Chains A and B, each alone.
Chain A
Amino acid sequence: MSDQSLTSSAAAPTPSNGPMLAADGTPLKKSLNRALRRQKTRALMLIAPLLIFILVTFIAPIADMLFRSVENQIVSETLPRTVVAINEWEPEETPLPPNDAFEAIYRDIFVAAEEKTHTRLGSRLNYETTGISSLFRKSGRAVDDVGERYVDAISDALPDWKGAGPWAVLGDAAHPALPGYNDAWKDFARVSTASGDDPATEKPWELLFVALAEELRAGALNEYDGPLGTELAQLSTALEPVAPVDYRAAMVEVDEDWEDPDIWATIKTYAPPFTPGYFLNAADMKYSADGIEVKQESERLYGMLFQRTLLMSLTITLATILLGYPVAFLMANLPMRISNLLMIFVLLPFWTSLLVRTSAWKVLLQQEGVINDLLVWIGLIADDGRLVMINNATGTIIAMTHILLPFMILPLYSVMQTIPPSYVRAAKSLGATNWTAFWRVYFPQSVPGIGAGSILVFIVAIGYYITPELVGGTTGVFISNRIAYHISTSLNWGLAAALGSILLVVVLILYWTYDRIVGIDNVKLG
Chain B
Amino acid sequence: MAALPPYTTLGQRIWHYTFRTIVGLVLFFLIAPILVIIPLSFNAENFFTYTPGMLALDSEAYSLKHYRDFFNNSDWQQAMRNSLMIAPAATLISVGLGTLAAIGLSQSHVPFRRAIMAILISPMIVPLIISAAGMYFFYSRVGLQGTYLGVVLGHAALGIPFVIITVTATLVGFDRSLTRAAANMGANPVTTFFRVQMPLILPGVISGGLFAFITSFDEVVVVLFVGSAGQKTLPWQMFIGLREQISPTILAVATILVALSIMLLTTVELLRRRSERLRGISPG
Per the bound structure, the CA–CA distance linking A62 and B48 in Å amounts to 41
| Candidates B107, B137, B268, B269; contact of A65 at CB < 8 Å | B137
Q: Which of B109-133 contact A (CB under 8 A)?
A: 109-111, 116-123, 125-131, 133
Per the bound structure, the CA–CA distance linking A460 and B130 in Å amounts to 12
In the complex, the answer to whether B246 meets A465 with C-beta atoms within 8 Å is no
- Residues of A near B160 (CB, < 8 A) are 50, 53-54
In the complex, the answer to whether A352 meets B110 with C-beta atoms within 8 Å is no
* Stretch in A4-12, A240-248, A353-361 with 4+ CB within 8 Å of B: A353-361
Per the bound structure, the CA–CA distance linking A323 and B111 in Å amounts to 43
Per the bound structure, the CA–CA distance linking A463 and B219 in Å amounts to 15
- Residues of B near A497 (CB, < 8 A) are 133, 137
* Stretch in B63-71, B96-104, B176-184 with 4+ CB within 8 Å of A: B96-104
Q: Is the interface of A mostly helix, strand, loop or mixed?
A: helix
- Residues of B near A487 (CB, < 8 A) are 133, 136, 225
| Candidates B50, B105, B125, B217; contact of A43 at CB < 8 Å | B105
Residues A526 and B268 in contact in the complex (CB < 8 Å), given A323-B29, A327-B23, A356-B254: yes
How many Å from the CB of A343 to the closest CB on chain B? 9
In the complex, the answer to whether A50 meets B129 with C-beta atoms within 8 Å is no
- Residues of B near A353 (CB, < 8 A) are 217-218, 235, 254, 257-258, 261
In the complex, the answer to whether A370 meets B49 with C-beta atoms within 8 Å is yes
In the complex, the answer to whether A361 meets B33 with C-beta atoms within 8 Å is yes
* Stretch in A34-42, A176-184, A218-226 with 4+ CB within 8 Å of B: A34-42
- Residues of B near A520 (CB, < 8 A) are 117-118, 121
Per the bound structure, the CA–CA distance linking A480 and B128 in Å amounts to 9
- The residue on A at minimum CB distance from B241 is A359
In the complex, the answer to whether A358 meets B100 with C-beta atoms within 8 Å is no
In the complex, the answer to whether B154 meets A57 with C-beta atoms within 8 Å is yes
How many Å from the CB of A516 to the closest CB on chain B? 13
In the complex, the answer to whether A58 meets B37 with C-beta atoms within 8 Å is no
- The residue on A at minimum CB distance from B119 is A54
In the complex, the answer to whether A355 meets B110 with C-beta atoms within 8 Å is no
Per the bound structure, the CA–CA distance linking A45 and B116 in Å amounts to 13
Q: Is A292 an interface residue (CB 8 A)?
A: no
- Residues of A near B50 (CB, < 8 A) are 370, 373
Per the bound structure, the CA–CA distance linking A504 and B129 in Å amounts to 10
Q: Is A286 an interface residue (CB 8 A)?
A: no
| Candidates A59, A323, A483; contact of B26 at CB < 8 Å | A323
In the complex, the answer to whether B251 meets A363 with C-beta atoms within 8 Å is yes
- Residues of B near A405 (CB, < 8 A) are 26, 29-30
Count A interface residues, CB 8 Å: 92
How many Å from the CB of B9 to the closest CB on chain A? 10
In the complex, the answer to whether A51 meets B119 with C-beta atoms within 8 Å is yes
- Residues of B near A36 (CB, < 8 A) are 109
Per the bound structure, the CA–CA distance linking A342 and B24 in Å amounts to 10
How many Å from the CB of B228 to the closest CB on chain A? 12
| Candidates A55, A342, A355, A504; contact of B254 at CB < 8 Å | A355
In the complex, the answer to whether B258 meets A462 with C-beta atoms within 8 Å is no
Q: Is A255 an interface residue (CB 8 A)?
A: no
- The residue on B at minimum CB distance from A526 is B268
In the complex, the answer to whether B254 meets A402 with C-beta atoms within 8 Å is no
How many Å from the CB of A447 to the closest CB on chain B? 20
- Residues of B near A233 (CB, < 8 A) are none
In the complex, the answer to whether A45 meets B104 with C-beta atoms within 8 Å is yes
Q: Is A369 an interface residue (CB 8 A)?
A: yes
In the complex, the answer to whether B129 meets A46 with C-beta atoms within 8 Å is no
In the complex, the answer to whether B134 meets A64 with C-beta atoms within 8 Å is yes
In the complex, the answer to whether B36 meets A364 with C-beta atoms within 8 Å is yes
In the complex, the answer to whether B214 meets A351 with C-beta atoms within 8 Å is yes
- Residues of A near B29 (CB, < 8 A) are 323, 402, 405
- Residues of B near A334 (CB, < 8 A) are 1
Q: Is B59 an interface residue (CB 8 A)?
A: no
- The residue on A at minimum CB distance from B33 is A360
**Contact code string A442-475 (vs B, CB < 8 Å = 1, else 0):** 0000000000000000011011111001100000
Q: Is A326 an interface residue (CB 8 A)?
A: yes
In the complex, the answer to whether B225 meets A54 with C-beta atoms within 8 Å is no
Per the bound structure, the CA–CA distance linking A368 and B107 in Å amounts to 59
In the complex, the answer to whether A40 meets B49 with C-beta atoms within 8 Å is no
- Residues of A near B217 (CB, < 8 A) are 353
Per the bound structure, the CA–CA distance linking A322 and B228 in Å amounts to 41
| Candidates A55, A61, A463; contact of B129 at CB < 8 Å | A463
How many Å from the CB of A449 to the closest CB on chain B? 16
Given A46-B107, A363-B40, A402-B33, 18 other A-B contacts at CB below 8 A?
A40-B109, A54-B119, A59-B122, A64-B137, A64-B141, A326-B23, A336-B284, A344-B265, A348-B31, A348-B261, A351-B264, A356-B257, A359-B250, A364-B33, A366-B49, A373-B50, A465-B221, A525-B166
A-B contact pairs, 6 of them (CB 8 A): A36-B109, A40-B110, A54-B119, A336-B284, A507-B125, A520-B121
A-B pairs with the 9 shortest C-beta distances? A463-B127, A46-B104, A61-B134, A61-B138, A50-B101, A360-B33, A480-B129, A43-B107, A65-B134
